[in-house]
């Protein structure tokens, strides 16, 4: 019956101590949804859910995407564990999930099953807060800009020497344009950036990339970031519509294994 909240940093992240029964019963689901939007990341330390419980819990917050095995998608860089291990190498760069979707996923629930001896901590950056702290003039300048997102942009820095097959696979993935500033239904605004951001539409390549880099550096300043140092059994949810995330590099054969459950998007980028 406990449900105790604690801010982890002033601008992003809330830790919640509660018990299994409270979590799975969905009694705090409305409050969790609200907190998720306001705080970006919620941490349930060492709650130790089974796969089934994780999917049940996620289902109290939103609609679970049919992905992986019964709603559990294995996040591992080891090709023996995950068919998408290659693409997941891109998780070391700041990103949001599903850049090619009109309606990006609402949130992801990630739990730690096995840790890496080195690296493997995950950072989250609040892009609502980053937008809020821009000057009025900067906000106005950015308001009308659109950014083209590509798979290639997410991969080229982690595979600096791609094979022709990889290049072809990247190039076969269509570019997706999104507004740089996402005006949510709530009226709140967030920056939509990340490793997928390839160019600014209508701007020359070099100036566009410089702007993207400048804003990425801004949005990931320490005051907007929460860094999660994992313990086995930790459960973390992030709002994929208002935070970026990245993981510290870790060896593909480290054994690190995270189980992810993803919630269906509820709002088109606008
Ligand atoms: C993801 C992701 C980061 C991590 O699952 O979308 O980026 O810490 N994971 O494994
Ligand atoms: Mn991700």
- pTM value is 0.97
What 3 state SS string does the chain have? CCEEEEECCCCCCEEEEECHHHHHHCCCHHHHHHHHHHHCEEEECCCCCCHHHHHHHHHHHCCECCCCECCEEEECCCCCCCCCHHHHHHHHCCECCCCCCCCCCCEEEEEEEECCCCCCCEEEEEHHHHHHCCCHHHHHHHCCCEEEECHHHHHCCCCCCCCHHHHHHHHCCCCEEEECEEECCCCCEEECCCCCEEEECCCCHHHHHHHHHHHHHHHCCHHHEEEECCCCCCEEEEECCCEEEEECCCCCCCCCEEEEEEECCCCCCC
246 part of a folded domain = yes
Q: 247, 248, 252: which to mutate for ligand 1, most atoms within 8 A of CB?
A: 247
| Cα distances (Å, whole numbers) of residue 213 to 159, 193, 242 | 19, 9, 18
- With a 6 Å cutoff on the Cβ, whether 11 touches ligand 1 is no
78 part of a folded domain = yes
Q: What total number of domains does the chain contain?
A: 1
The Å distance, Cα 216 to ligand 2 centre, comes to: 16
Q: Whose CA is nearest to atom 3 of ligand 1?
A: 247
- With a 6 Å cutoff on the Cβ, whether 240 touches ligand 1 is no
Closest-CA residue to 235 (of 78, 29, 18): 18
The Å distance, Cα 50 to ligand 1 centre, comes to: 19
268 part of a folded domain = no
Q: Which residues face 190 on adjacent strands?
A: 182
243 part of a folded domain = yes
* Per-residue model confidence (pLDDT) at position 78: 98
Distance CA 112, CA 230 (A): 7
Q: What is the pLDDT along the chain (270 residues), one digit of tens a residue?
A: 689 999 999 999 999 999 999 999 999 999 999 999 999 999 999 999 999 999 999 999 999 999 999 999 999 999 999 999 999 999 999 999 999 999 999 999 999 999 999 999 999 999 999 999 999 999 999 999 999 999 999 999 999 999 999 999 999 999 999 999 999 999 999 999 999 999 999 999 999 999 999 999 999 999 999 999 999 999 999 999 999 999 999 999 999 999 999 999 999 999
* Per-residue model confidence (pLDDT) at position 246: 98
The Å distance, Cα 1 to ligand 1 centre, comes to: 30
- With a 6 Å cutoff on the Cβ, whether 91 touches ligand 1 is yes
Residues with CB under 5 A from ligand 2 (ion): 97
- Domain CATH for 190: 3.60.130.10
Distance CA 234, CA 94 (A): 21
170 part of a folded domain = yes
* Per-residue model confidence (pLDDT) at position 1: 63
Q: 99, 109, 110: which to mutate for ligand 1, most atoms within 8 A of CB?
A: 110
- With a 6 Å cutoff on the Cβ, whether 234 touches ligand 1 is no
The Å distance, Cα 41 to ligand 1 centre, comes to: 13
Range of the domain at 115: 3-263
269 part of a folded domain = no
- With a 6 Å cutoff on the Cβ, whether 247 touches ligand 1 is yes
22 part of a folded domain = yes
- With a 6 Å cutoff on the Cβ, whether 97 touches ligand 1 is yes
The Å distance, Cα 1 to ligand 2 centre, comes to: 32
């Amino acid at each position: 019956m406990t449900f105790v909240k604690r801010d982890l940093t002033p601008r992003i992240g809330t830790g919640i101590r509660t018990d299994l029964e409270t979590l799975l019963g969905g009694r705090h689901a409305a409050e969790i949804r609200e907190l998720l939007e306001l705080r970006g990341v919620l941490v349930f330390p060492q709650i130790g859910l089974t796969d089934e419980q994780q999917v049940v819990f996620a289902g109290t917050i939103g609609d679970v995407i049919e992905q992986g095995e019964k709603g559990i998608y294995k996040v591992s860089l080891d090709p023996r564990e995950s068919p998408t291990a290659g693409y997941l190498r891109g998780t070391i760069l700041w990103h949001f999930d599903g850049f090619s979707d009109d309606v990006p996923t609402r949130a992801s629930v990630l739990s730690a099953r096995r840790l890496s001896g080195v690296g493997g901590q995950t950072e989250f950056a609040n892009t609502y807060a980053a937008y809020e702290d821009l000057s009025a003039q900067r906000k106005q300048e950015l308001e009308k800009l659109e950014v083209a997102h590509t798979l290639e942009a997410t991969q080229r820095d982690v595979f600096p020497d791609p094979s022709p097959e990889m290049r072809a696979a990247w190039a076969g993935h269509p570019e997706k344009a999104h507004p740089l500033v996402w005006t949510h239904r709530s009226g709140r605004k967030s920056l939509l950036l990340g490793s997928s951001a390839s160019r600014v539409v209508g701007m020359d390549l070099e100036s566009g990339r410089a702007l993207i880099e400048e804003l990425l550096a801004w949005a990931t300043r320490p005051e907007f970031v929460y860094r999660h140092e994992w313990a086995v059994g930790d459960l973390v949810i992030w709002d994929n519509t208002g935070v970026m995330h990245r993981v510290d590099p870790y060896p593909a054969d480290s054994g690190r294994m995270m189980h992810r459950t993803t919630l269906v998007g509820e709002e088109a980028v606008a």
